[in-house]
């Protein structure tokens, strides 16, 4: 029996595939390579290039392989882009989920681990955020993830775990795969472009937030800790665990300025900054309570030091300044 990983050529997907294979799982990947990278595909996995909205590709995969469960990462994930082009998000994310669920139902595959997001909460009611807190997305990306979570819930006999990630960061320590977005918008990779000489400075998006240093606070979680949580969730479902939703974060917040200082320590270089305007839709603080994942899934994040997280990202970016440069 194999695990189908939708979006296994993307950032978190490729790290999860790596960990699955390390644990002896048989892995099938489907990815349309719209934001994923051919070089990130693990050679030990069987790869189908295709879009999950294309039912016939899914039908082929489910016919040619015995699929036990699905781990679903295949989605667009840029907040700004989703505001400009919401229908892209409703088509790829929501539409993709509908076709995937249809195929799973037809082939009697009854387990799914879904890559959700802290973006489902919107402006938090309290810090840290718990799974029972109000969900009120402030952008189409978060809305699409919330709709996807809700779709899963209504499918009879489907066992699911939805994982709401906070800020994924870092890379595998061996440096084989890492974070590479065709359009980079994330804080840590952008900061590291300064010491790499690819950018003159990092712009801090606002320093007038109600936080101690005025910059936004986020909960950064290492990509391998996220990958491990998917495997724990899969085993939880295999053992008859009940369908549920879990936050994944370190439970500790770092401001933009603190992340820049940590990156200066890791790279041993001064990083030039400029203060810019606030970015639309950015809440001042997002910090997870991950107590539920720790208690029920037995999840223990191994990377709880932000400098350690940044150092794994630095290793990847230093060795691959152009990302997956074959593309």
223 binds ligand UDP (CB under 6 A): no
User: Is residue 287 part of the contact set for ligand UDP (CB under 6 A)?
Assistant: no
Please calculate the CA angle 253-35-275 and round it to the nearest 5 degrees: 40
- Residue 141: active-site member: yes
Q: What is the DSSP string of 155-209?
A: STT-EEEEEEE-EEE---TTSSS----SS---HHHHHHTTTTTS-S-EEEE-S-S
Nearer to ligand UDP, 79 or 223 (CB): 79
Which of 141, 138, 137, 139 has the alpha carbon at shortest distance from 90? 141
- Of 246-275, binders to ligand UDP (CB under 6 A) are 256
Among 19, 98, 130, 203, the residue binding ligand UDP under the rule CB under 6 A is 203
Query: Is position 202 an interface residue for ligand UDP (rule: CB under 6 A)?
Result: yes
Q: Which of 218, 230, 292, 315 binds ligand UDP (CB under 6 A)?
A: 218
Q: How many amino acids of this chain bind ligand UDP (CB under 6 A)? A: 15
C-alpha–C-alpha distance, residues 118 and 36, integer Å = 21
Kindly state whether residue 190 participates in binding ligand UDP, applying the rule CB under 6 A.
yes
Rule CB under 6 A: is residue 216 a binding residue for ligand UDP?
yes
Query: How is residue 147 written in tokens?
Result: 């709709």
The most distant pair of C-alpha atoms in the chain lies apart, rounded to whole Å, by 56
The DSSP letter of residue 34 is: S
Q: Measured on CA atoms in the order 190, 194, 195, 198, is the torsion positive or negative?
A: positive
Residue 312 touching ligand UDP (CB under 6 A): no
Q: Are the C-beta atoms of 18 and 5 separated by less than 8 Å? A: no
Which residue has the closest beta carbon to ligand UDP? Answer: 216
Annotated active-site residue in 18, 89, 141, 160: 141
* Stretch of 88-96, 135-143, 174-182, 183-191 contacting ligand UDP, by CB under 6 A: 183-191
Q: Which of 57-65, 126-134, 138-146, 180-188 is the region at the interface with ligand UDP (rule: CB under 6 A)?
A: 180-188
Return the closest-CA partner of residue 273 out of 257, 254, 255, 253: 257
In the complex, the smallest distance separating the C-beta of residue 55 from ligand UDP, rounded to whole angstroms, is 32
Catalytic residues: 141
List residues binding ligand UDP (CB under 6 A).
Answer: 79, 167, 185-187, 190, 202-205, 216, 218, 256, 279, 282
């Amino acid at each position: 029996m194999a695990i189908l990983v939708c979006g296994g050529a993307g950032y978190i997907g490729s790290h999860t595939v790596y960990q699955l294979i390390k644990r002896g799982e048989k892995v099938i990947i489907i990815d349309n390579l719209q934001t994923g990278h051919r070089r990130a595909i693990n050679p030990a996995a069987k790869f189908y290039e295709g879009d999950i909205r294309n039912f016939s590709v899914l039908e082929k995969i489910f016919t040619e392989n015995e699929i036990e469960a699905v781990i679903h990462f295949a989605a667009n994930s840029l907040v700004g882009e989703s505001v400009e082009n919401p229908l892209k998000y409703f088509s790829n994310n929501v539409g993709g989920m509908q076709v995937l669920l249809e195929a799973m139902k037809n082939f009697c595959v009854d387990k799914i681990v879904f890559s959700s997001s802290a973006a489902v909460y919107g402006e938090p009611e309290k810090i840290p955020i718990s799974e029972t807190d109000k969900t009120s997305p402030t952008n189409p990306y978060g809305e699409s993830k919330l709709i996807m979570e809700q779709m899963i819930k209504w499918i009879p006999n489907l066992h699911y775990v939805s994982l709401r990630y906070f800020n994924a960061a870092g890379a595998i320590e061996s440096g084989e795969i890492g974070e590479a977005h065709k359009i980079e918008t994330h804080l840590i990779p952008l900061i590291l472009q300064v010491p790499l000489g690819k950018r003159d400075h990092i712009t801090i998006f606002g320093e007038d937030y109600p936080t101690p240093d005025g910059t936004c606070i986020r909960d950064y979680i290492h990509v391998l800790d996220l990958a491990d949580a998917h495997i724990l969730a899969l085993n939880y479902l295999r053992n008859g665990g009940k369908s549920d939703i879990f936050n994944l974060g370190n439970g500790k917040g770092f401001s933009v300025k603190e992340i820049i200082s940590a990156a200066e320590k890791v790279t041993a270089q001064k990083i030039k900054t400029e203060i810019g305007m606030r970015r639309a839709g950015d809440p001042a603080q997002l910090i997870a309570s991950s107590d539920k994942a720790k208690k029920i899934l037995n999840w223990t994040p191994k990377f709880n030091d932000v400098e350690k997280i940044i150092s794994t990202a630095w290793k990847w970016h230093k060795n691959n300044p152009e990302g997956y440069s074959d593309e």
